[in-house]
């Protein structure tokens, strides 16, 4: 639950601002993009000048390009906030690397998020750890903030909830989540149309890339870890962008005997990003935090400080065993 006082403070900040900059986290997912755009559209309808952004690489994942409101996007280097900053789906300032200067520039910051490890870095913090998605929070508070929901905004918010709940299948899906989804449907969202856009819009190249990636999938006995490494070479071979690979990790989770799924992604710089998911309440959020990242108990990630894939894998393996999640010490 979010306290009334907090909502009143946020509402006052919005009322008093002519322009609003809305920031999502680096490597945005459906919830970050959906929340940024959904909130942006509602604020624009209220008469505010709205710019939305996220850190480099500043691109919209292919399957989210159908969303309304993309014309509000402004690259991080061109952003010039004048008034209020709103951050969505960001647990900490570290998730906003290109914006450290403006976040410390004396502007009021409204921080809207659902991560358990949110550092409460805003002037006003609207953080609900029980919400399945930041988009769910944005919907639940929009009236308190003086905003009106349009069909376009509803499309964005529904997409955020759909993607962060794994199509309403993950255990963050609550009665409240389904209620919000039904209210968004009542506002004009067609669930099958969103599903088609998000989950049935892959290219043949992407399907072939997926087949290749899954053919390299490994399952480890001692850690219960299943993983795939995606190199720049793999992407180039199929003409696929890294931002398209967001959902590949869900295919690894289909494996009956896995306990932790990980996707190791080689960035252009050679640095490895790690995406993790777990089952049976295994707390990978704390492992990710220890390795410099963060996230939820069952969905977390980090950017590796190790050189290359092998070192990154070995480090993660050690951390899993040390944390007591290995199969041998259970």
Binding positions for Mn ion, rule: CB under 5 A: 31, 89, 134, 164
Write out the binding residues for ligand 5GP, residues 259-278 only, by CB under 6 A.
Answer: 275
CA–CA gap between residue 150 and residue 144 (Å, rounded)? 16
CA–CA gap between residue 22 and residue 113 (Å, rounded)? 13
> How would DSSP label each residue in 224-273?
-EEEEEE-HHHHHHHT--GGGGTTHHHHHTT-TT-SEEEEEEE-TTS-EE
Tell me the pairing of strands 218-219 and 84-88. Answer: unpaired
Q: Collect all residues with Cβ–Cβ distance below 8 Å to 160 and sequence separation of at least 6.
A: 30, 31, 32, 33, 34, 35, 38, 133, 134, 135, 136, 138
Contact 27, 98 (CB under 8 A): no
**Cβ 196 to ligand 5GP shortest distance, Å:** 22
Q: Which does 91 bind (CB under 5 to 8 A by kind): Mn ion, ligand 5GP, none?
A: ligand 5GP
- Show the site string, 62-91: x = touches ligand 5GP by CB under 6 A, - = not: -----------------------------x
Nearest CA to 300 among 95, 102, 150, 125?
Answer: 95
CA–CA gap between residue 232 and residue 264 (Å, rounded)? 11
User: How many positions of this chain bind ligand 5GP (CB under 6 A)?
Assistant: 16
Q: Give whichever of 48 and 273 is closer to ligand 5GP, judged by the CB atom.
A: 273
Write out the binding residues for ligand 5GP, residues 277-316 only, by CB under 6 A.
Answer: 293-296, 299-303
**Cβ 216 to Mn ion shortest distance, Å:** 28
Q: Give whichever of 96 and 145 is closer to ligand 5GP, judged by the CB atom.
A: 96
- Show the site string, 17-56: x = touches ligand 5GP by CB under 6 A, - = not: --------x-x-x---------------------------
Query: Which DSSP state fits 174?
Result: -
Q: Which does 296 bind (CB under 5 to 8 A by kind): ligand 5GP, Mn ion, none?
A: ligand 5GP
Q: Give whichever of 224 and 295 is closer to Mn ion, judged by the CB atom.
A: 295
The footprint of ligand 5GP (CB under 6 A) covers 25, 27, 29, 91-92, 95, 275, 293-296, 299-303
């Amino acid at each position: 639950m979010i306290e009334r006082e907090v909502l009143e403070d946020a509402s006052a900040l919005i009322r008093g601002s002519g322009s609003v900059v809305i920031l999502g986290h680096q490597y945005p997912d459906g919830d970050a993009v959906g929340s940024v755009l959904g909130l942006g559209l509602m604020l624009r309808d209220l008469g505010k000048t709205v710019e939305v952004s996220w850190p480099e690489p500043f691109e919209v994942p292919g399957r989210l390009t159908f969303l309304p409101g993309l014309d509000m996007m402004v690259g991080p280097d061109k952003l010039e906030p004048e008034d209020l900053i709103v951050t969505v789906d960001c647990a900490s300032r570290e998730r906003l690397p290109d914006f450290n200067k403006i976040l410390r520039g004396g502007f009021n910051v409204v921080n809207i998020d659902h991560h358990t490890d949110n550092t409460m870095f805003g002037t006003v913090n609207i953080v609900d750890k029980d919400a399945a998605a930041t988009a769910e929070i944005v919907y639940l508070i929009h009236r308190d903030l003086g905003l009106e929901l349009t069909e376009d905004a509803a499309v964005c918010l529904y997409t955020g909830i759909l993607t962060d709940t794994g199509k309403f299948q993950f255990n963050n899906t609550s009665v409240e989540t389904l209620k919000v989804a039904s209210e968004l449907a009542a506002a004009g969202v067609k669930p099958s149309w969103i599903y088609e856009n998000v989950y049935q819009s892959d290219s043949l190249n992407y399907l072939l890339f997926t087949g290749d990636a899954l053919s390299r999938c490994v399952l480890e006995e001692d850690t219960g870890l299943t993983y795939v490494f995606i190199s720049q070479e793999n992407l180039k071979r199929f003409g696929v962008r890294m931002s398209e690979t967001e959902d590949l990790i869900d295919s690894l989770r289909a494996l009956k005997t896995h306990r932790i799924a990980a996707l190791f992604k080689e960035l252009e710089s050679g640095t490895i990003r790690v995406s993790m998911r777990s089952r049976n309440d295994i707390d990978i959020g704390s492992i990710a935090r220890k390795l410099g990242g963060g996230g939820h108990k069952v969905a977390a990630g980090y950017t590796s400080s190790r050189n290359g894939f092998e070192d990154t894998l070995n480090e993660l393996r050690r951390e899993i065993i040390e944390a007591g999640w290995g199969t041998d010490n259970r």
